[in-house]
Amino acid sequence: MHPDTRTTTGHGHPYDSILETVGNTPAVKINRLAPEGIALYVKPEFFNPGASVKDRLALNIIEHAERTGALMPGQTVVEATSGNTGIGLAMVCAAKGYPLVITMVETFSIERRKLMRYLGAKVVLTPKAEKGIGMVRKAQELAKENDWFLASQFETEANADIHEATTAREILADFKGQRLDYWVTGFGTGGTVTGVGRVLRKERPETKIILSEPDLAPMLGSGEGQTRNDDHTPAASHPAWQPHPIQGWSPDFIPHVLQEAIDHHLYDELYPVSGAQGMEWAQKLAKEEGIITGISGGSTFAIAMEVAAKAEAGSTILCMLPDTGERYLSTPLFDAFGADMNDEETTISRSTPGYQLG
């Protein structure tokens, strides 16, 4: 071996289960895209075993329910999800032996459906016209009729708690003794912003929390509140919501979990972002940094770049990247990347005589 070859050290012990590998994602520096004088970092949640931030929540929902007795051995779990929670739950339920039924709007990517089924879950699609609330109500209906355990990611305390206990602690540890001027995130359930926000407000009060939402669905930006039922589920779609391409972000209601972040002022600024901007920055992260993230990651990064452009020299920014770009191969994110050779590739092929396709 050449003496300069990179080496690794391992984890120091084997893991007892795939579930033990959830969390502890790294903070990674952006080297080519960051403006001069700004230390820009991302936290790629695709390092989780199910390749998204939602593995954290999925594991905590199941273990919280096991501890409280809400979930019995062998009982079926049911949940409404835009996909990543479903994939996380499917992984956890497979590892622990619970049957799982997922309800999901038909518009979310095919990769999501296939992965959940691959992990042994049943995926029940709900109509696009009924929006996110439709999939939530279907899950409630199925839970009630069959006496299944409803995971309730939009309402459960197990959601923000796991980000308070893990995501936030990782950020504190990785930026200990260093500046952290801005932390940038979006929201789906709001678990990430609420849980991390609780901790940063106490432990790093100087850190500005930047929240983003789709420009087409400015629910928070509109200032209008959410009507809710007694069990905290949404009573109706939010009037400012419109369909948007940032999968996993902003369902058609303001979730109860996010309400805490609004009521307790757990964010400092709110930025709208377009799906086109998000896809452009996700593609740039791939091509110029070697980082494969999804549309919500690109959208969060687009806002981090806006913040970076305005920040004073010497600032440090941390940006969440919720999932992997591989979850979007069938979506517009990959439209420009075909399966066949393009003109440039054909020219390279023809530039030498051998091994050409007919």
Interacting residue with ligand PMP among 134, 190, 214, 278 (CB under 6 A): 190
User: Among 215, 202, 214, which residue's Cα sits nearest to residue 266?
Assistant: 202
Element containing residue 29 per DSSP (H, E): strand 28-29
Q: Which of 46, 98, 148, 187 binds ligand PMP (CB under 6 A)?
A: 187
d(CA 195, CA 164): 4
| Binding track, positions 117-156, relative to ligand PMP; x by CB under 6 A | ----------------------------------------
The least CB distance from residue 327 to ligand PMP, in Å, is: 8
Q: Among 60, 192, 207, 226, which residue interacts with ligand PMP (rule: CB under 6 A)?
A: 192
| End-to-end CA separation in angstroms for the chain | 42
Q: Which stretch binds ligand PMP (CB under 6 A): 64-72, 136-144, 183-191, 213-221?
A: 183-191
- Identify whether the C-beta of residue 49 lies closer than 8 Å to the C-beta of residue 55: yes
* 214 near ligand PMP, judged by CB under 6 A: no
**Is 310 part of the annotated catalytic residue set?**
no
**Beta strands in 107-258, from DSSP E residues, in sequence order:** 122-126, 149-150, 182-185, 208-214
Torsion of CA 327, 328, 334, 340, to 10 degrees: 60
The token duo for 273 is: 């972002």
Q: Which of 248, 275, 298, 325 binds ligand PMP (CB under 6 A)?
A: 248
Task: Out of 25, 60, 76, 189, name the contact with ligand PMP by CB under 6 A.
Answer: 189
Q: Is the Cβ–Cβ distance between 103 and 79 less than 8 Å? A: yes
Within 10 angstroms of residue 345's Cβ, the number of other Cβ atoms is 11
Q: What is the DSSP letter of 145?
A: H
Nearer of residues 35 and 326 to ligand PMP, judged by Cβ: 326
Q: Candidates 59-67, 142-150, 181-189, 341-349: pick the segment binding ligand PMP (CB under 6 A).
A: 181-189
Choice among 54, 131, 138, 208 that is catalytic: 54
Residue 128 falls in the annotated catalytic set? no
- Per CB under 6 A, the list member of 134, 214, 322, 325 interacting with ligand PMP is 322
Looking at 84, 152, 212, 331, which residue binds ligand PMP (CB under 6 A)?
84
Q: Using an 8 Å Cβ cutoff, are 213 and 187 in contact? A: yes
Q: Which of 109, 152, 296, 299 is catalytic?
A: 296
* Three-class secondary structure of residue 27 per DSSP: coil
Give me the active site residues, please.
54, 296
Interacting residues with ligand PMP (CB under 6 A):
52-54, 82, 84, 186-192, 247-249, 294, 296, 322-323
